[in-house]
Amino acid sequence: MSNLNLGVIGNCAIASLVDRNGRHVWHGLGRLDGDPVFNALLGGNDPQGGFMEAVVAGATEIGRQRYLPNTAVLETVIDGAGGTMRIVDFAPRFRRFGRVFRPPMLVRRLEPVSGRPRVTIRMRPTFSYGALKPQITSGSNHVRFVSDAAVLRLTTDASVSYILHETEFALDQPLTIIVAADESITESPDSLYRTFLAETENYWHTWVRDLNIPFDFQAAVIRAAITLKLCSFEDTGAVLAALTTSIPEAAGTMRNWDYRFSWLRDSFFTVTALNRLSATRTMERFVRFIVNIVETGSSRGEADLIAPLFPIAPGTSTVEKLIDTLPGYRGYGPVRIGNAAVLQRQNDTYGSMVLTAAQMFWDERLPRHGDMELYRQLCVVGNEAHKAALTPDAGLWEYREREEVHTFSAAMCWAAQHRLGMIARRVGVDSEAREWLARAGVLRQEILQRATTTDGGWLSGTLDREMADASSLVLPEIGVLRSDDPRFLATLDMVSKRLMKNGFVVRYVEADDFGAPSNAFLLCTFWYIDALAGVGRRDEALELFNNVLAQRNHVGLLSEDLDPLTGELWGNYPQTYSQVGLILSAMRLSRSWEEGLWHAS
């Protein structure tokens, strides 16, 4: 049965999810959002295709899996009746000829550790989301899997005949498998593996060495940072919400969406995390991706038409479709391609765009600084935020059948205007700065007045009526009010009473288009942890944070959602927002390096 105990390998061009027995169960052809030629993750309870694996005869226990320290190189060790096999999986990534080499290639190594394990290699890709089985051709050292639209090539120093016929054999020497585009590989697979592994390990060690990490929770933050990096598409700078589609938020629900897009909403929080990590190049590319969207919309006078989400590269449709060629995760369908949220009005995106672009006006590390031209483009966004602030939208939770005036959306529209006031001052137009800040001040007063409930004095998720919503926890983060404001303290109390389930926070409890949600949303739990720390309740925050860390899977990764009763992970995976939440909470809760090193008791 499928589960989210999966390791992730990748190189910011492609990625693959590998289960604890070494089976590749999800891999998009050619790029992160490509046609998943390995799709067994959505293949029901007993998929017969859509995977690559090396089965060890007589294996009775789940494999032992870990990352090589501070890398995206995955090791799986499996014990069988005849001996033990070690698998090493990675996607090459390293500097070459003055640029980063990141081919659409998966490299796999099979090594006997002890005895003579008997192994069966099974390579069963499918195309068009499981609809097409490939035609298979072979040569002396390769196998080609051919469809009308694409070709996948496996190059190896193993027996091609054994692979074609899925024949068991004794693994008595290391073997290498390279899965890539339909191009000949002239080097020996063994030599290529050794070179690429050494260079890839060195790349990741260097990247991690340059990170700014907290004194406490170092391993957790490093793993979250590497995973966040793996969810970025370097060619354009986009960061995906997750690498998968259609893993449901809970068992038996139709809440399953395609997350292989880049959301404007995520940008501010993601940039904040990358900035604090000092992952400057990844942050810079993502900021440029967002700014390009802003400039394109503003220059056309269409800022109001900027969608809340975008494909990671041009040419990909966002139109939501249901497909019937894959039964879904554990058989829970439907499987979706595209996301209908692209058509929604989500007013908080105006604030996300301005807050993300604001980095360019203050960050001296960036090669391009914010200037008067960019400010003028952002003014178009700010004017739309002014008009939209108190109008109904689908909200950050992307309700599909209703619109209301959501507090978070209104607050982000406030943030757009407030930050524009600061930017205007930065570029030397003080009169405009005063105008933006005056507008923002009036809006802030109205938001707080209409969001504060009469019974309890806490901040509702919608204006003019009570709605318990975890997004109210973020309001101090964006500056709408202080953490010690009585209205926010009352909100914290409300969340603990209404939205907390067994130590985890749900987004809301009110029924939506699909009924009442049952599982916790991990990002909301991190928001609550940050809020507790912000009001000085650090011990409580630390206890909850350690509880969340304990729910990570065996290699330290998180999905979007969690069953608060069983601790099982649900939702698309690995979830960028969850990694970001972990990083920011860890940095908030950690002791300083000075305190940890020199003042430890």
Please identify, among 208, 240, 267, the residue that sits at the C-terminal boundary of a domain.
208
Q: Specify whether 503 is located in the same domain as 549.
A: yes
Last residue of a domain, one of 208, 243, 272: 208
The answer to whether residues 148 and 220 belong to one domain is: no
In CATH, what number is assigned to the domain containing residue 589?
1.50.10.10
Longest dimension (CA), the chain: 79
CA distance 75 to 195: 17
Let me know the angle formed at the C-alpha of 488 by 264 and 273, rounded to the nearest 5 degrees.
Answer: 35
Q: What is the mean pLDDT of residues 457-467?
A: 98
How far is 443 from 412, CA to CA, in rounded Å?
A: 11
Tell me which amino acid residue 180 is. A
Give exposure, 368-384, as e/b (b: 16+ Cβ within 10 Å).
eebeeebbebbbbbbbb
Least confident of 266-275, 334-343, 487-496: 266-275
CB within 8 Å of 536: residues ≥ 6 apart? none
By C-alpha distance, which of 16, 45, 24, 27 is closest to 327?
Answer: 45
pLDDT of residue 145: 98
Looking at residue 15, its pLDDT comes to 98
Mean of the per-residue pLDDT values of the chain: 95
Confidence at residue 297, expressed as pLDDT on a 0 to 100 scale: 84
- φ/ψ of 18, rounded to 5, equals -125, 125
Closest CA to 420 of 480, 353, 346: 353
- Last residue in a domain, options 190, 208, 226: 208
Domain annotation covers residue 407: yes
Q: Is residue 265 part of a domain?
A: yes
Judge whether residue 193 has pLDDT over 90: yes
Asked if residue 501 and residue 358 are part of one domain, the reply reads yes
Q: What type of residue is 148?
A: D
Q: Are residues 360 and 298 in the same domain?
A: yes
Confidence of residue 516 (pLDDT cuts 50, 70, 90): confident
**pLDDT at position 366:** 86
Q: Are residues 198 and 230 in the same domain?
A: no
* Judgement on whether residues 423 and 479 belong to the same structural domain of the protein: yes
Per-residue pLDDT band for 300 (boundaries 50, 70, 90) equals confident
Assess whether 221 and 176 both reside in one domain. Answer: no
Question: Is residue 487 pLDDT above 70, yes or no?
Answer: yes
| Domain coverage including residue 153 | 6-208
The pLDDT assigned to 152 comes to 97
260 — pLDDT class (breaks 50, 70, 90): very high
Q: Residue 218: pLDDT above 80?
A: yes
pLDDT at 601 over 70: no
Over pLDDT 90: what percentage of the chain?
A: 91
Q: What is the reported pTM?
A: 0.97
204 and 259 assigned to the same domain? no
Same domain, 357 and 372: yes
Residue 217 has a pLDDT of 98
- 257 shares a domain with 402: yes
Residue 232 domain flag: yes
For residues 416-428, one letter each, b for 16 or more C-beta atoms within 10 angstroms of the residue's C-beta and e for the rest, the string is bbbbbbebbeebe
Q: Are residues 354 and 495 in the same domain?
A: yes
- Cβ atoms of 89 and 108 within 8 Å: the answer is yes
> What does the pLDDT look like over 96-110, one tens digit per residue?
988 999 999 999 999
Given its phi and psi angles, is residue 269 left (phi above 0), alpha (psi -120 to 50 degrees) or beta? alpha
Q: Is residue 67 part of a domain?
A: yes
**Count: domains in the chain:** 2
Closest to 118 in 3D by CA, of 52, 53, 58 = 58
What CA–CA distance (Å, rounded) separates 321 from 199? 41
> Residue 1 falls within a domain, yes or no?
no
Low-confidence winner among 176-185, 292-301, 453-462 (lowest mean pLDDT): 292-301
